[in-house]
Structure 1
Amino acid sequence: MAVISSIEKLEAIYGSLDTIGEASTAKVADHVTPAYARIIEAAPFLVLATVGPEGLDCSPRGDRPGFVRIADPKTLLLPDRRGNNRIDSLRNVVRDPRVGLMFLIPGSGNALRINGTAEVETDAALCGSFAVEGKAPRSVLVIRVGEVYFQCARAIIRAGLWQAESQVDPRSLPTPGAILAEMSAGRVGGEAYDTAWPTRARESMW
Protein backbone atom coordinates (compact mmCIF):
# COMPACT_ATOMS: atom_id res chain seq x y z
CA MET A 1 0.00 0.00 0.00
CA ALA A 2 1.22 3.48 -0.88
CA VAL A 3 0.44 5.14 2.46
CA ILE A 4 1.28 8.85 2.75
CA SER A 5 3.20 9.39 5.98
CA SER A 6 4.46 12.97 5.70
CA ILE A 7 3.22 16.39 4.66
CA GLU A 8 6.02 16.56 2.10
CA LYS A 9 4.76 13.43 0.33
CA LEU A 10 1.19 14.70 0.50
CA GLU A 11 2.13 18.06 -1.01
CA ALA A 12 4.07 16.31 -3.75
CA ILE A 13 0.71 14.99 -4.96
CA TYR A 14 -1.62 17.93 -4.22
CA GLY A 15 0.73 20.91 -4.05
CA SER A 16 1.54 23.16 -1.11
CA LEU A 17 -0.56 25.99 0.28
CA ASP A 18 1.71 28.38 -1.63
CA THR A 19 0.66 26.90 -4.96
CA ILE A 20 -3.14 26.86 -4.63
CA GLY A 21 -5.26 29.61 -6.15
CA GLU A 22 -6.10 32.76 -4.21
CA ALA A 23 -9.80 31.86 -4.31
CA SER A 24 -9.01 28.96 -1.98
CA THR A 25 -7.47 31.23 0.65
CA ALA A 26 -8.99 34.71 0.22
CA LYS A 27 -12.36 33.38 1.39
CA VAL A 28 -11.07 32.69 4.93
CA ALA A 29 -11.99 35.22 7.63
CA ASP A 30 -11.33 35.24 11.36
CA HIS A 31 -14.81 36.58 12.10
CA VAL A 32 -18.33 36.49 10.70
CA THR A 33 -18.43 38.92 7.77
CA PRO A 34 -21.73 40.44 6.51
CA ALA A 35 -21.87 37.94 3.64
CA TYR A 36 -21.22 34.96 5.91
CA ALA A 37 -23.79 36.29 8.38
CA ARG A 38 -26.48 36.06 5.68
CA ILE A 39 -25.66 32.38 5.18
CA ILE A 40 -25.75 31.60 8.90
CA GLU A 41 -29.08 33.39 9.27
CA ALA A 42 -30.60 31.38 6.41
CA ALA A 43 -29.32 27.96 7.51
CA PRO A 44 -31.76 25.47 9.11
CA PHE A 45 -29.14 22.75 9.55
CA LEU A 46 -25.54 22.23 10.59
CA VAL A 47 -23.21 19.45 11.65
CA LEU A 48 -21.23 19.99 14.86
CA ALA A 49 -17.84 18.28 15.21
CA THR A 50 -16.21 17.92 18.63
CA VAL A 51 -13.34 15.97 20.14
CA GLY A 52 -12.83 14.35 23.53
CA PRO A 53 -10.81 11.66 25.31
CA GLU A 54 -12.93 8.92 23.70
CA GLY A 55 -12.33 10.32 20.22
CA LEU A 56 -14.25 12.37 17.68
CA ASP A 57 -17.96 13.08 17.44
CA CYS A 58 -20.05 14.56 14.63
CA SER A 59 -23.63 15.50 15.46
CA PRO A 60 -26.49 17.02 13.42
CA ARG A 61 -28.21 20.19 14.62
CA GLY A 62 -31.38 21.44 12.97
CA ASP A 63 -33.98 24.07 13.73
CA ARG A 64 -35.82 26.94 12.14
CA PRO A 65 -33.65 29.04 9.78
CA GLY A 66 -31.44 31.37 11.74
CA PHE A 67 -31.43 29.19 14.85
CA VAL A 68 -27.74 29.99 15.33
CA ARG A 69 -27.63 33.51 16.74
CA ILE A 70 -24.80 35.88 15.87
CA ALA A 71 -24.01 37.68 19.13
CA ASP A 72 -21.14 39.57 17.52
CA PRO A 73 -18.71 38.92 14.63
CA LYS A 74 -16.61 36.62 16.84
CA THR A 75 -19.38 34.90 18.80
CA LEU A 76 -22.18 32.50 17.85
CA LEU A 77 -24.88 31.07 20.09
CA LEU A 78 -26.24 27.57 19.42
CA PRO A 79 -29.17 26.30 21.54
CA ASP A 80 -29.11 22.64 22.52
CA ARG A 81 -32.56 21.33 21.60
CA ARG A 82 -34.16 18.12 22.82
CA GLY A 83 -32.34 14.91 21.92
CA ASN A 84 -31.54 11.49 23.32
CA ASN A 85 -29.60 12.83 26.34
CA ARG A 86 -26.36 11.11 25.33
CA ILE A 87 -24.88 14.65 25.21
CA ASP A 88 -21.76 13.37 23.43
CA SER A 89 -21.01 16.81 21.97
CA LEU A 90 -21.47 18.64 25.27
CA ARG A 91 -19.33 16.11 27.15
CA ASN A 92 -16.58 16.71 24.63
CA VAL A 93 -16.81 20.51 24.74
CA VAL A 94 -16.55 20.53 28.54
CA ARG A 95 -13.25 18.65 28.27
CA ASP A 96 -11.91 20.01 24.96
CA PRO A 97 -13.36 23.29 23.63
CA ARG A 98 -12.39 22.81 19.98
CA VAL A 99 -15.35 22.66 17.60
CA GLY A 100 -16.05 22.63 13.88
CA LEU A 101 -19.37 23.51 12.26
CA MET A 102 -20.66 22.93 8.74
CA PHE A 103 -23.82 24.78 7.74
CA LEU A 104 -26.04 23.50 4.91
CA ILE A 105 -28.95 25.29 3.24
CA PRO A 106 -31.35 23.21 1.12
CA GLY A 107 -31.04 24.30 -2.48
CA SER A 108 -27.64 25.96 -2.04
CA GLY A 109 -24.57 24.29 -3.49
CA ASN A 110 -22.17 25.86 -1.03
CA ALA A 111 -21.53 24.86 2.57
CA LEU A 112 -20.22 27.19 5.27
CA ARG A 113 -17.51 26.02 7.62
CA ILE A 114 -16.54 27.50 10.98
CA ASN A 115 -13.76 26.39 13.30
CA GLY A 116 -13.33 27.72 16.81
CA THR A 117 -13.85 26.94 20.47
CA ALA A 118 -16.97 26.62 22.58
CA GLU A 119 -18.28 26.51 26.12
CA VAL A 120 -21.55 25.25 27.56
CA GLU A 121 -23.63 28.08 29.07
CA THR A 122 -26.72 27.54 31.24
CA ASP A 123 -27.63 31.12 32.13
CA ALA A 124 -31.41 31.13 32.59
CA ALA A 125 -31.98 34.39 30.73
CA LEU A 126 -29.87 33.29 27.78
CA CYS A 127 -31.56 29.89 27.54
CA GLY A 128 -34.96 31.53 27.92
CA SER A 129 -34.26 33.82 24.98
CA PHE A 130 -34.19 30.73 22.75
CA ALA A 131 -37.53 29.35 23.95
CA VAL A 132 -39.86 27.89 21.31
CA GLU A 133 -43.47 27.11 22.20
CA GLY A 134 -42.62 28.02 25.78
CA LYS A 135 -39.79 25.48 25.98
CA ALA A 136 -36.23 26.70 26.50
CA PRO A 137 -33.09 24.67 25.82
CA ARG A 138 -31.25 23.44 28.88
CA SER A 139 -27.98 24.91 27.60
CA VAL A 140 -26.52 27.05 24.86
CA LEU A 141 -23.15 26.61 23.18
CA VAL A 142 -21.21 29.87 23.10
CA ILE A 143 -18.90 29.52 20.10
CA ARG A 144 -15.84 31.72 19.61
CA VAL A 145 -15.08 31.98 15.91
CA GLY A 146 -11.51 31.19 14.86
CA GLU A 147 -12.04 30.97 11.11
CA VAL A 148 -14.98 30.96 8.73
CA TYR A 149 -15.10 30.17 5.03
CA PHE A 150 -17.35 28.67 2.39
CA GLN A 151 -16.78 25.23 0.90
CA CYS A 152 -17.11 25.01 -2.88
CA ALA A 153 -20.12 23.20 -4.33
CA ARG A 154 -18.42 20.21 -5.98
CA ALA A 155 -19.31 17.66 -3.29
CA ILE A 156 -22.96 18.70 -3.14
CA ILE A 157 -23.19 18.72 -6.95
CA ARG A 158 -21.61 15.27 -7.19
CA ALA A 159 -24.01 13.95 -4.55
CA GLY A 160 -27.04 15.53 -6.22
CA LEU A 161 -28.00 16.36 -2.66
CA TRP A 162 -30.91 18.68 -3.36
CA GLN A 163 -32.18 16.99 -6.51
CA ALA A 164 -35.56 15.27 -6.20
CA GLU A 165 -34.34 12.26 -8.18
CA SER A 166 -31.60 11.71 -5.59
CA GLN A 167 -34.07 11.09 -2.79
CA VAL A 168 -34.17 7.54 -1.49
CA ASP A 169 -37.41 5.75 -0.63
CA PRO A 170 -37.21 5.39 3.19
CA ARG A 171 -38.95 2.02 2.88
CA SER A 172 -35.79 0.67 1.23
CA LEU A 173 -33.76 1.32 4.39
CA PRO A 174 -33.80 -0.31 7.83
CA THR A 175 -35.93 1.64 10.31
CA PRO A 176 -34.60 2.82 13.70
CA GLY A 177 -36.86 0.25 15.35
CA ALA A 178 -35.41 -2.55 13.22
CA ILE A 179 -31.86 -1.45 13.99
CA LEU A 180 -32.53 -1.25 17.72
CA ALA A 181 -34.17 -4.67 17.75
CA GLU A 182 -31.21 -6.19 15.92
CA MET A 183 -28.62 -4.53 18.15
CA SER A 184 -30.40 -5.38 21.42
CA ALA A 185 -31.56 -8.89 20.56
CA GLY A 186 -35.13 -7.64 20.65
CA ARG A 187 -35.03 -5.97 24.07
CA VAL A 188 -35.87 -2.55 22.61
CA GLY A 189 -37.08 -1.22 19.28
CA GLY A 190 -39.14 -3.16 16.80
CA GLU A 191 -42.35 -2.18 15.06
CA ALA A 192 -43.84 -0.66 18.22
CA TYR A 193 -40.91 1.77 18.44
CA ASP A 194 -41.38 2.93 14.84
CA THR A 195 -45.14 3.27 15.27
CA ALA A 196 -44.78 5.43 18.39
CA TRP A 197 -42.00 7.61 17.01
CA PRO A 198 -44.05 10.28 15.13
CA THR A 199 -46.14 11.08 18.21
CA ARG A 200 -43.11 11.01 20.49
CA ALA A 201 -41.26 13.37 18.17
CA ARG A 202 -44.15 15.86 18.02
CA GLU A 203 -44.45 15.91 21.79
CA SER A 204 -40.72 16.34 22.44
CA MET A 205 -39.55 18.49 19.53
CA TRP A 206 -38.54 21.44 21.69
Structure 2
Amino acid sequence: MRDENFYNSGARRIQAALGTRQVADHIAANYVADSLDRAAAALVGRADCFYLATADSRGFPDCSYKGGLPGFVRVPAPGLLRFPSYDGNGMFRSLGNVLENPHVGLLFIDYEKPIKLRINGTARVSTEDRLLASFPEADAVVEVEVRQVFENCPRYLHDVRHGAYSTYVPRPNRVTPEPEWKLKPEYEGLVRLRDS
Protein backbone atom coordinates (compact mmCIF):
# COMPACT_ATOMS: atom_id res chain seq x y z
CA MET A 1 0.00 0.00 0.00
CA ARG A 2 1.35 3.40 -0.91
CA ASP A 3 -0.73 5.44 1.55
CA GLU A 4 1.40 8.38 2.64
CA ASN A 5 -0.86 8.79 5.68
CA PHE A 6 -0.37 5.26 7.01
CA TYR A 7 2.18 6.54 9.53
CA ASN A 8 1.52 9.80 11.34
CA SER A 9 4.25 12.16 12.48
CA GLY A 10 4.36 10.56 15.93
CA ALA A 11 4.97 7.13 14.44
CA ARG A 12 7.67 8.61 12.22
CA ARG A 13 9.40 10.24 15.21
CA ILE A 14 9.53 7.00 17.21
CA GLN A 15 10.62 5.04 14.12
CA ALA A 16 13.50 7.52 13.70
CA ALA A 17 14.41 7.32 17.38
CA LEU A 18 14.45 3.51 17.41
CA GLY A 19 15.81 2.97 13.88
CA THR A 20 12.81 1.11 12.43
CA ARG A 21 11.74 3.33 9.52
CA GLN A 22 13.08 0.99 6.82
CA VAL A 23 11.24 -2.06 8.12
CA ALA A 24 8.09 0.02 8.79
CA ASP A 25 8.13 1.28 5.18
CA HIS A 26 8.69 -2.29 3.91
CA ILE A 27 5.69 -3.57 5.88
CA ALA A 28 3.44 -0.70 4.74
CA ALA A 29 4.42 -1.17 1.10
CA ASN A 30 4.05 -4.95 1.06
CA TYR A 31 1.54 -5.99 3.71
CA VAL A 32 -1.05 -3.24 4.10
CA ALA A 33 -4.10 -3.44 1.82
CA ASP A 34 -7.14 -1.24 1.30
CA SER A 35 -9.58 -4.16 1.17
CA LEU A 36 -10.01 -7.65 2.57
CA ASP A 37 -8.58 -10.46 0.48
CA ARG A 38 -10.07 -13.95 0.62
CA ALA A 39 -8.01 -15.03 3.64
CA ALA A 40 -8.82 -11.88 5.65
CA ALA A 41 -12.53 -12.14 4.79
CA ALA A 42 -12.52 -15.80 5.88
CA LEU A 43 -10.89 -14.93 9.21
CA VAL A 44 -13.47 -12.19 9.82
CA GLY A 45 -16.31 -14.49 8.77
CA ARG A 46 -15.41 -17.25 11.21
CA ALA A 47 -14.69 -14.91 14.15
CA ASP A 48 -16.92 -15.12 17.21
CA CYS A 49 -15.58 -11.84 18.62
CA PHE A 50 -13.43 -8.81 17.93
CA TYR A 51 -12.34 -5.60 19.64
CA LEU A 52 -13.66 -2.25 18.42
CA ALA A 53 -11.77 1.01 18.98
CA THR A 54 -13.66 4.28 18.60
CA ALA A 55 -13.13 7.89 19.65
CA ASP A 56 -15.51 10.74 20.38
CA SER A 57 -15.47 14.15 18.69
CA ARG A 58 -12.79 15.36 21.14
CA GLY A 59 -10.53 12.41 20.29
CA PHE A 60 -11.04 10.56 23.58
CA PRO A 61 -10.78 6.81 22.83
CA ASP A 62 -12.88 3.88 23.90
CA CYS A 63 -12.44 0.19 23.23
CA SER A 64 -15.08 -2.50 23.46
CA TYR A 65 -15.46 -6.22 22.97
CA LYS A 66 -18.03 -7.38 20.43
CA GLY A 67 -19.14 -11.01 20.41
CA GLY A 68 -21.57 -13.26 18.58
CA LEU A 69 -21.79 -16.56 16.78
CA PRO A 70 -19.28 -17.20 13.98
CA GLY A 71 -20.53 -15.28 10.96
CA PHE A 72 -21.94 -12.36 12.94
CA VAL A 73 -19.45 -10.10 11.15
CA ARG A 74 -20.07 -10.18 7.43
CA VAL A 75 -18.04 -9.10 4.43
CA PRO A 76 -20.51 -8.33 1.60
CA ALA A 77 -17.69 -6.81 -0.50
CA PRO A 78 -13.87 -6.67 -0.14
CA GLY A 79 -14.04 -3.04 1.01
CA LEU A 80 -17.05 -3.36 3.31
CA LEU A 81 -17.97 -5.22 6.47
CA ARG A 82 -21.07 -5.23 8.66
CA PHE A 83 -21.75 -6.25 12.23
CA PRO A 84 -24.78 -6.06 14.51
CA SER A 85 -25.19 -4.08 17.69
CA TYR A 86 -26.98 -6.37 20.13
CA ASP A 87 -28.93 -5.44 23.24
CA GLY A 88 -26.56 -4.24 25.94
CA ASN A 89 -26.61 -1.87 28.88
CA GLY A 90 -27.99 1.06 26.89
CA MET A 91 -24.89 3.26 27.12
CA PHE A 92 -24.11 2.99 23.37
CA ARG A 93 -20.65 4.46 23.83
CA SER A 94 -19.23 2.84 20.70
CA LEU A 95 -22.19 3.71 18.48
CA GLY A 96 -22.34 7.21 19.95
CA ASN A 97 -18.68 7.68 19.14
CA VAL A 98 -19.25 6.49 15.57
CA LEU A 99 -21.98 9.11 15.17
CA GLU A 100 -19.53 11.81 16.32
CA ASN A 101 -16.33 10.45 14.77
CA PRO A 102 -16.65 7.71 12.14
CA HIS A 103 -13.01 6.57 12.25
CA VAL A 104 -12.75 3.08 13.78
CA GLY A 105 -10.26 0.29 14.33
CA LEU A 106 -11.16 -3.40 14.60
CA LEU A 107 -8.89 -6.12 15.94
CA PHE A 108 -9.61 -9.77 15.12
CA ILE A 109 -7.55 -12.52 16.77
CA ASP A 110 -7.27 -16.13 15.65
CA TYR A 111 -5.43 -17.80 18.52
CA GLU A 112 -5.08 -21.12 16.70
CA LYS A 113 -3.04 -19.85 13.72
CA PRO A 114 -2.07 -17.38 15.47
CA ILE A 115 -3.05 -14.23 13.60
CA LYS A 116 -3.89 -10.68 14.64
CA LEU A 117 -5.78 -8.86 11.89
CA ARG A 118 -6.23 -5.10 12.13
CA ILE A 119 -8.87 -3.30 10.09
CA ASN A 120 -9.17 0.49 10.05
CA GLY A 121 -11.99 2.29 8.35
CA THR A 122 -14.92 4.64 8.37
CA ALA A 123 -18.11 3.48 10.05
CA ARG A 124 -21.76 4.41 9.93
CA VAL A 125 -24.65 3.26 12.10
CA SER A 126 -27.81 2.06 10.38
CA THR A 127 -31.26 1.17 11.66
CA GLU A 128 -32.58 0.43 8.18
CA ASP A 129 -35.06 -2.44 8.15
CA ARG A 130 -33.28 -4.19 5.25
CA LEU A 131 -30.06 -4.44 7.26
CA LEU A 132 -31.70 -5.22 10.61
CA ALA A 133 -33.62 -8.08 8.99
CA SER A 134 -30.38 -9.95 8.28
CA PHE A 135 -29.16 -9.73 11.90
CA PRO A 136 -31.75 -11.22 14.29
CA GLU A 137 -32.24 -9.19 17.50
CA ALA A 138 -29.90 -6.39 16.39
CA ASP A 139 -30.65 -2.86 17.63
CA ALA A 140 -28.56 -1.41 14.80
CA VAL A 141 -26.04 -2.46 12.19
CA VAL A 142 -22.61 -0.90 11.80
CA GLU A 143 -21.16 -0.72 8.30
CA VAL A 144 -17.42 -0.18 7.98
CA GLU A 145 -15.84 1.07 4.78
CA VAL A 146 -12.40 -0.49 4.92
CA ARG A 147 -9.39 1.82 4.59
CA GLN A 148 -6.51 -0.38 5.82
CA VAL A 149 -6.13 -4.10 6.48
CA PHE A 150 -2.99 -5.67 7.82
CA GLU A 151 -1.80 -8.54 9.95
CA ASN A 152 0.09 -7.59 13.07
CA CYS A 153 2.95 -9.65 14.51
CA PRO A 154 1.30 -12.31 16.71
CA ARG A 155 4.36 -13.30 18.69
CA TYR A 156 3.08 -11.96 22.03
CA LEU A 157 -0.26 -13.77 21.80
CA HIS A 158 -0.57 -16.23 24.65
CA ASP A 159 -1.86 -19.76 24.05
CA VAL A 160 -5.23 -19.30 25.73
CA ARG A 161 -6.36 -22.85 24.92
CA HIS A 162 -3.54 -24.39 26.92
CA GLY A 163 -2.94 -21.60 29.42
CA ALA A 164 0.63 -21.03 28.23
CA TYR A 165 2.37 -17.69 27.86
CA SER A 166 3.98 -16.79 24.57
CA THR A 167 7.56 -17.99 24.29
CA TYR A 168 8.44 -14.51 22.95
CA VAL A 169 7.47 -12.67 26.13
CA PRO A 170 10.72 -11.60 27.81
CA ARG A 171 11.57 -13.49 30.99
CA PRO A 172 14.32 -13.04 33.55
CA ASN A 173 17.57 -14.98 32.96
CA ARG A 174 16.68 -16.08 29.44
CA VAL A 175 17.43 -14.84 25.93
CA THR A 176 14.15 -14.34 24.09
CA PRO A 177 14.09 -16.11 20.70
CA GLU A 178 13.77 -14.09 17.51
CA PRO A 179 10.40 -14.35 15.75
CA GLU A 180 10.45 -16.31 12.50
CA TRP A 181 9.42 -13.33 10.38
CA LYS A 182 12.61 -11.43 11.26
CA LEU A 183 14.69 -14.30 9.86
CA LYS A 184 13.08 -14.22 6.39
CA PRO A 185 15.40 -13.07 3.58
CA GLU A 186 13.13 -10.11 2.75
CA TYR A 187 13.98 -8.54 6.12
CA GLU A 188 17.76 -8.94 5.87
CA GLY A 189 19.30 -5.56 6.50
CA LEU A 190 15.97 -4.06 7.62
CA VAL A 191 15.81 -5.44 11.16
CA ARG A 192 18.41 -5.69 13.88
CA LEU A 193 18.77 -9.18 15.35
CA ARG A 194 19.84 -9.69 18.95
CA ASP A 195 23.02 -11.60 18.14
CA SER A 196 24.26 -9.04 15.60
TM-score by length of 1: 0.68
1:72 to 72, 77, 86: 77
CA RMSD between the two structures: 2.3
> Separation in 2 of the partners of 1:129 and 1:23?
37
2:163 to 162, 165, 171: 165
- Equivalent position amino acid for 1:165 in 2: G
1:52 to 42, 52, 56: 56
Checking the alignment, whether the CA contact within 8 Å between 1:42 and 1:105 is kept in structure 2 is: no
- Matched residue of 2:40: which SS? helix
Q: Deviations over 1:179-203 (max 9, x none)?
A: xxxxxxxxxxxxxxxxxxxxxxxxx
- Equivalent position amino acid for 2:83 in 1: L
TM-score by length of 2: 0.71
> Separation in 2 of the partners of 1:7 and 1:61?
28
Greater helix percent: which structure? Answer: 1
- Matched residue of 1:154: which SS? coil
Give unpaired runs (5+ residues) of structure 1: 168-206
Give the CA deviation at 1:99.
Answer: 0.3
Checking the alignment, whether the CA contact within 8 Å between 2:108 and 2:116 is kept in structure 1 is: yes
* 1:35 corresponds to: 39
Give the CA deviation at 1:30.
Answer: 0.2
Aligned length: 156
- Equivalent position amino acid for 1:99 in 2: V
Give the CA deviation at 1:24.
Answer: 5.9
Q: Deviations over 1:146-201 (max 9, x none)?
A: 01011121120xxx24242349xxxxxxxxxxxxxxxxxxxxxxxxxxxxxxxxxx
* 2:6 corresponds to: none
* 1:144 corresponds to: 145
- Matched residue of 1:104: which SS? strand
**Alpha-carbon distance change, 20 to 138 in structure 1, aligned in 2, over 3 angstroms:** closer
Q: Deviations over 1:51-94 (max 9, x none)?
A: 00361110000111121111211111110012111100011000
Give the CA deviation at 1:23.
Answer: 4.8
- Matched residue of 2:95: which SS? helix
Does residue 116 of structure 1 match 2:121? Answer: yes
- Matched residue of 1:38: which SS? helix
Checking the alignment, whether the CA contact within 8 Å between 1:44 and 1:104 is kept in structure 2 is: no
* 1:62 corresponds to: 67
- Equivalent position amino acid for 1:111 in 2: K
* 1:10 corresponds to: 14
Give unpaired runs (5+ residues) of structure 2: 1-8, 166-196
